[in-house]
Amino acid sequence: MKNTCVKILAYINAWFMTPSGGSCSKTRSYCFALISLSIFMGAVACNKPVNTAPSLDATVTEMPSDRGVTEICEPNCQGRECGVDPRCGFSCGECADDQVCESAMCVSNDESGRQVEGGAEMGGGQGSQGGDDNPNDCSPSCESASAECGELCGESCGSCGDSQRCEDNRCVCIPQCADKSCGDDDGCGGQCSPCPRSESCEGCALRLRVLSTSEIGGQVSSAQIALSLQLPEEAPHPQIADIHLMMTGPAILGRVGLGESLINANKQLIPDPATGMPYRVNGSVYSFMVLSTQNTNEIATGDWLVLDIQLGSTDAEPVQLKVIEREQTFAPPAADLQLWGSSLGEGLVIWPALSQGE
């Protein structure tokens, strides 16, 4: 048991603390988060009974109503005011009621075409294009900027039609998808989307797929989803994994079960110490830590997790579930290399309203 414990701690240390073969090279907060996680994992691996992890005989666990929040990934929100960060899938902030999030920046939702940041208008009639406070030195004009709408330097550049909005002094078509199904004309030369997708990708290393759905009153009420590993037999396979899934839309995670590959490798899902549940939650991101306190067996290709998703009754938006592409998902490093340079797909799309899938 001692040797196994030492190996596990060595993998955790190499995986989290020395991604480039040296000391932790990330930011201080990122390193502290990884140190805390290593301490917790060490306690699970060496100091606590093995039965603190979910039993393999009871591989399905109910989700509590009060879910804990533990951050184990440092968001990358530099230069972003809103939307989701590309590294961890965490929120970078929300815009005010009169704003919309465009290209990770909060933009005014009226026809002024002005950007709003922290409640103060930028590019207003006082003319601060180059940082000059002189109100008489304002440029460009509507004509020189080929502006179609909004206002520049106190000059009105026009307004947009009913089915358009003003963005960066240009009239942009607003998709009209209310009461329409996937694939219908959105009124802007495109299609209403996203369309239903029951498989995240073909041939990718980590794949999500819909196993089955249940219906009540003409709507999808629940779905069972599998997360599986697909690697060539001769490729290095992971012994430890830290998988992050992002789920958005009218749904909650109901039950989690171990797939055949994890059971055969005698692996468990390490529980969140704050809730006792076999995953951690941060907003719309669900994190699953897979390892064993008794072995360093490789985990074979096949189903890893089975997730039961409960869907809401709205037909206004779909449920979307995807694997977040991030650094250091697998250990040892040779297994993690199998994910580099390859896409994990666009994710699953499940519409509660059956008409959206027609």
Which band of pLDDT confidence, cut at 50, 70 and 90, is reported for residue 184? confident
CA dihedral sign, ordered 11, 14, 19, 25:
positive
Q: What count of other Cβ atoms lies within 10 Å of the Cβ of residue 91? A: 17
pLDDT at 211: 96
Alpha-carbon span 181 to 356, nearest angstrom: 5
Amino acid, single-letter form, for residue 255:
R
Query: Architecture of domain 56-76+194-357 in CATH?
Result: Sandwich (2.60)
Is the Cβ–Cβ distance between 167 and 342 less than 8 Å? no
Over residues 141-165, the mean pLDDT reads 89
Q: What percent of the chain has pLDDT over 70?
A: 67
Over residues 6-23, the mean pLDDT reads 46
Written as one string, the DSSP assignment of 221-290 is: EEEEEEEEE---TTS---SEEEEEEEEESSEEEEEEEE-HHHHHTT-EEPPPTTT--SSEEETTEEEEEE
Amino acid, single-letter form, for residue 15:
W
Amino acid, single-letter form, for residue 189:
G
Alpha-carbon span 155 to 145, nearest angstrom: 12
Q: How far lies 39's CA from each of 11, 34, 35, 47, 69, in Å?
A: 13, 9, 6, 11, 18
Domain ranges of the chain: 56-76+194-357, 99-173
When mean pLDDT is compared across 38-52, 249-263, 326-340, the lowest value belongs to 38-52
Over residues 92-107, the mean pLDDT reads 83
pLDDT at 9: 55
pTM over 0.85: no
Residue 45 confidence (pLDDT) above 90: no
Alpha-carbon span 269 to 61, nearest angstrom: 11
Is the Cβ–Cβ distance between 171 and 164 less than 8 Å? yes
pLDDT at 240: 95
Q: What angle in degrees, to the nearest 10, is found between the helix axes of 28-42 and 2-12?
A: 170
pLDDT at 64: 38
Q: Which residues pair with 41 in a beta bridge?
A: none
Give the residue with greater pLDDT, 73 vs 326: 326
Q: Mean pLDDT, the chain, as a whole number?
A: 75
Alpha-carbon span 239 to 208, nearest angstrom: 20
Residue 212 confidence (pLDDT) above 80: yes
Q: Which of 54-63, 128-137, 187-196, 255-264 has the highest mean pLDDT?
A: 255-264
Which band of pLDDT confidence, cut at 50, 70 and 90, is reported for residue 316? low
Give the residue with greater pLDDT, 174 vs 226: 226
Residue 65 confidence (pLDDT) above 80: no
Alpha-carbon span 86 to 326, nearest angstrom: 9
Q: What percent of the chain has pLDDT over 90?
A: 34
pLDDT at 80: 83
